[in-house]
Amino acid sequence: MFESLGGRLEDALSKIRGKARLSEADVELALREIRNALLEADVNLLVVRAITDRIREAAVGAMASRSLTPGQQVVKAVNDELINVLGGETFRITYESKPPTVILMAGLQGSGKTTTSAKLARYFKAQGRSPMLVGADLQRPAAVEQLKTLASQIQVPMFSEWTSPIEVAKAGVAEARRIGRDVVIIDTAGRLTVDAELMDEIAAISREVRPKYTFLVIDAMMGQDSVNTAKAFNDVLELDAIVLSKLDGDARGGAALSVKEVVGKPIAFASDGEKLDNFGPFHPDRMASRILGM
Amino acid sequence: RAKRALGEEFWVELEEALILSDLGLDLSVDLVESVRNKVYKEGVTATDAALEMLREEMIERLDHSNRDLNLGDAPPSVVLFVGVNGVGKTTSIGKLAALLSSEGKKVVVAAGDTFRAAAAEQLEMWAQRSDVQVVKGASGADPASVVFDAISHGAAVGADFVLADTAGRLQNRQNLMDELKKIRRVAEKASGTVTEVLLVLDATTGQNGLLQAQGFAEAASVTGVILTKLDGTAKGGVAFAIEDKLHIPIKFVGLGEGILDLVPFDPKAFVYEITGEVSQ
Ligand SMILES: Nc1nc2c(ncn2[C@@H]2O[C@H](COP(=O)(O)OP(=O)(O)OP(=O)(O)O)[C@@H](O)[C@H]2O)c(=O)[nH]1
Ligand SMILES: Nc1nc2c(ncn2[C@@H]2O[C@H](COP(=O)(O)OP(=O)(O)OP(=O)(O)O)[C@@H](O)[C@H]2O)c(=O)[nH]1
Ligand SMILES: [K+]
Ligand SMILES: [Mg+2]
Ligand SMILES: [Mg+2]
């Protein structure tokens, strides 16, 4: 359905390949193709604009160098720019000297928070830590049940109670301290950024438990709204990192680029399946190629 | 307020509004081009008139479909809910069960997601809210047999509808799509009529929505779309593209997590939301 950017740029540039030097108009033609490819990959329009502006600078140089494959050269410039945006500082977890290290999960409905919470717990356990899961989603039917089931699959303790999300989070951290667990992962209900009450609620949870890390879970299939979502969560929570979910699909995943560009926080982990071991560190280079369809 | 002149800037803004609503690049360009031609032919010079023409064109493109739930000759009418992970299948069943019950219909729901942790418990809680019966199997049970049993039960108790949940699956997972084919095939054999296969689509979905629709249509002959989470800032434009390109009608939209938050699709409201941010 989507032709690769490499192929499209070659097509666009083949008409002008014979020229000794490529003109500004030629560069604009190539940039048009890049814009279109990024939009088809669901990179947010405003982000596309910022990125193509930066690629323009790089591309002018690349295209002036009488290459036989100017298309490939421009693709390389694009690829480098994307890796640059997606990468940057790599994310490294450090642990509180006075445990537990508290991690707060946030995101839209259905993005993958509960599953990711369990995946993280499994990950920490494999690192030799003793994690605990806290079910602070008292809203979605059977959310606590879901987390409890996942927790038992990985043999990690899980805490919840029918009070309020803030109380559960608070009591969960206290319980972890009491039984000597050193990482606490708090699963929260999905919420829309326009829902002021629920955005206030998660901000209140955050103030109460003072998480060392706050992770926003973003669905790789997300479209243009990724930018609104990431900005709004970052405004109320000061995110530390993004976790991408559902990368096992065939979405191009432009949302990753958009979110990274607007909040500037690292993409720490990626999920590529429903199973709890379908999870690991994020690879910027693979994501760049994927967005470009290469 | 002073009216803007119909310059290049207006058309760019229009195209951008469509792209930002997830209609996709091709369709956005195509729609603007089409309206631009009309505007030129008819000598329209005001931006508000041009915007109105765009809305008319969009509504017209959405206007050909039958959006009612199909009913079968041999009851119960069976509705399968399909889609990728986390879009709102189970929740939409809960809401539709309530809607149909309030119209006096007898509804049975089938817990055909035997895979995800606590999927059956979630559906059960929804079923309780509207006081409808739920048929479920053990965790890990064959989903096709659970759906078959639910339809048979529905037929035995004189149900009008059986709403069947299925596990979320990505359309590029062939084995899971084969499983869905089987669920549909087995459901056909039970003593009701499979009248609808509803693709549940999250409004925040980007262009992958088209691949979802293609994949699920191929595996299970999708008859309609439920567009969920329209209560957020996402506009769900890819559903427009799906209806325009694949001729699969949007039948319901989800506007929240409450039991009453499922309403019949209204093309006009949808188009006005998508074009709402264009200044005139
Ligand atoms: N294919 C795939 N499915 C995933 C992945 N991560 C999560 N899921 C599935 O996505 C669906 C939603 O995941 P949840 O973890 O329940 O999402 P959530 O954000 O907690 O949802 P709410 O609590 O309702 O807001 C489930 O069916 C998960 O199994 C992934 O990486 N790949
Ligand atoms: N705001 C909003 N949330 C919704 C809507 N529909 C569903 N949700 C929420 O989205 C999340 C996922 O819904 P589910 O019904 O579990 O989705 P699903 O497709 O059954 O998920 P899987 O079975 O895991 O694939 C839940 O938190 C729901 O409450 C809607 O229209 N608006
Ligand atoms: K909306
Ligand atoms: Mg959850
Ligand atoms: Mg479900």
Across the interface, of B19, B84, B257, the residue whose CB is closest to A221 is B84
| CA distances in angstroms from A105 to A112, A187, B80, B278, listed in the order given | 10, 5, 32, 35
pLDDT of residue A59: 78
Taking the CA of residue B69 and the nearest CA in chain A, the distance in Å comes to 26
Across the interface, of A1, A108, A141, the residue whose CB is closest to B211 is A1
Packing angle of the helix pair A113-126, A143-153 (nearest 10 deg): 20
- pLDDT surpasses 90 at A64: no
Mean pLDDT taken over chain A: 92
DSSP H or E run through A59: helix A45-64
The C-alpha atoms of residue B26 and residue B143 are separated, in whole angstroms, by 38
CA-nearest of B119, B90, B115 to B259 is: B90
pLDDT of residue A19: 61
Number of helices and strands (H, E) in chain A? 11, 8
Sign of CA dihedral A250, A75, B15, A85: positive
Band (pLDDT 50/70/90 cuts) for residue B6 is confident
How confident is the model over B14-40, as a mean pLDDT?
Answer: 97
pLDDT of residue A10: 74
User: Three-state SS string across B83-137, please?
Assistant: CCCCCCHHHHHHHHHHHHHHCCCCEEEEECCCCCCCHHHHHHHHHHHCCCEEEEC
| CA A49 distance to own-chain centroid | 20
pLDDT of residue A20: 59
pLDDT of residue A15: 65
**Residue of A158, A224, A272, A275 for testing the chain B interface, max B β-carbons within 10 Å:** A224
DSSP H or E run through B223: none
The C-alpha atoms of residue B70 and residue B47 are separated, in whole angstroms, by 40
Express as a percent the part of chain B with pLDDT over 90.
92
pLDDT of residue A71: 74
Beta carbons of A141 and B121 less than 8 Å apart: yes
Band (pLDDT 50/70/90 cuts) for residue B23 is very high
For residue B66 and ligand 1, the question of a CB distance below 6 A is answered with no
pLDDT of residue A134: 98
Task: Give the amino acid at A130.
Answer: S
Residue B2 DSSP code? P
Q: What is the pLDDT of residues B166-218, one digit of tens each?
A: 999 999 999 999 999 999 999 999 999 999 999 999 999 999 999 999 999 99
pLDDT of residue A68: 65
pLDDT of residue B147: 98
pLDDT of residue B203: 98
Residue A157 DSSP code? -
Residue A162 DSSP code? S
Across the interface, of B20, B170, B204, the residue whose CB is closest to A249 is B170
- pLDDT surpasses 60 at A89: yes
Centroid of ligand 2 to alpha carbon of A137 (angstroms): 13
For residues B239 and B53, the answer to whether their CB atoms sit within 8 Å is: no
Q: What contacts B82, CB < 8 A, 6 or more positions away?
A: B89, B166, B180, B197, B198, B199, B200, B216, B220, B222
pLDDT of residue A16: 61
Which residues face A134 on adjacent strands?
A159, A186
Beta carbons of B233 and A194 less than 8 Å apart: yes
pLDDT of residue A1: 43
For residue B258 and ligand 2, the question of a CB distance below 6 A is answered with no
For residue B88, the ligand closest to its alpha carbon is 2
Band (pLDDT 50/70/90 cuts) for residue A99 is very high
How confident is the model over A48-64, as a mean pLDDT?
Answer: 85
Band (pLDDT 50/70/90 cuts) for residue A21 is low
For residues A76 and A290, the answer to whether their CB atoms sit within 8 Å is: no
Task: Give the amino acid at A18.
Answer: G
The C-alpha atoms of residue B173 and residue B177 are separated, in whole angstroms, by 6
Sign of CA dihedral B39, B41, B46, B52: negative
Residue B5 DSSP code? B
- pLDDT surpasses 70 at B159: yes
Nearest residue by C-alpha to atom 29 in ligand 1: A274
CA-nearest of B221, B204, B209, B227 to B80 is: B221
Q: What is the pLDDT of residues B62-121, one digit of tens each?
A: 987 789 999 988 999 999 999 999 999 999 999 999 999 999 999 999 999 999 999 999
- From A88-92, A174-178, B136-140, the region with the lowest mean pLDDT: A88-92
pLDDT of residue A294: 76
The C-alpha atoms of residue A198 and residue A205 are separated, in whole angstroms, by 10
SS3 percent helix, strand, coil of chain A, rounded to 5, is 50, 15, 35
Structure tokens at A24: 């500004």
Beta carbons of A110 and B172 less than 8 Å apart: no
Centroid of ligand 5 to alpha carbon of B168 (angstroms): 6
Which residues face B164 on adjacent strands?
B80, B110
Q: For chain A, positions 220-249, list CB contacts with chain B under 8 A.
A: 221-226, 228-229, 246, 248-249
Q: Is A283 exposed, middle or buried (0-12, 13-18, 19+ CB in 10 A)?
A: middle
The C-alpha atoms of residue A251 and residue B172 are separated, in whole angstroms, by 10
Answer left, alpha or beta for residue A105, where phi above 0 means left and psi between -120 and 50 means alpha. beta
Residue of B nearest to A38 (CA): B25
At residue B176, what are phi and psi to the nearest 5 degrees?
-75, -35
- pLDDT surpasses 50 at A69: yes
The C-alpha atoms of residue A171 and residue B20 are separated, in whole angstroms, by 42
* ipTM of the prediction greater than 0.95, yes or no: yes
Band (pLDDT 50/70/90 cuts) for residue A67 is low
The C-alpha atoms of residue B279 and residue B267 are separated, in whole angstroms, by 21
| CA distances in angstroms from A54 to A78, B48, B130, listed in the order given | 9, 35, 55
- pLDDT surpasses 50 at B1: no
Atom of ligand 1 nearest to the CA of A137: 23
DSSP string, B36-96: HHHHHHHT--BHHHHHHHHHHHHHHHTTT---SPP--SSSSEEEEEE-STTSSHHHHHHHH
How confident is the model over A192-204, as a mean pLDDT?
Answer: 98
- pLDDT surpasses 70 at B3: no
How confident is the model over A178-205, as a mean pLDDT?
Answer: 98
Is the pTM higher than 0.90?
yes
Q: What is the pLDDT of residues A127-167, one digit of tens each?
A: 999 999 999 999 999 999 999 999 999 999 999 999 999 99
Packing angle of the helix pair A165-179, A196-209 (nearest 10 deg): 20
Mean pLDDT taken over chain B: 95
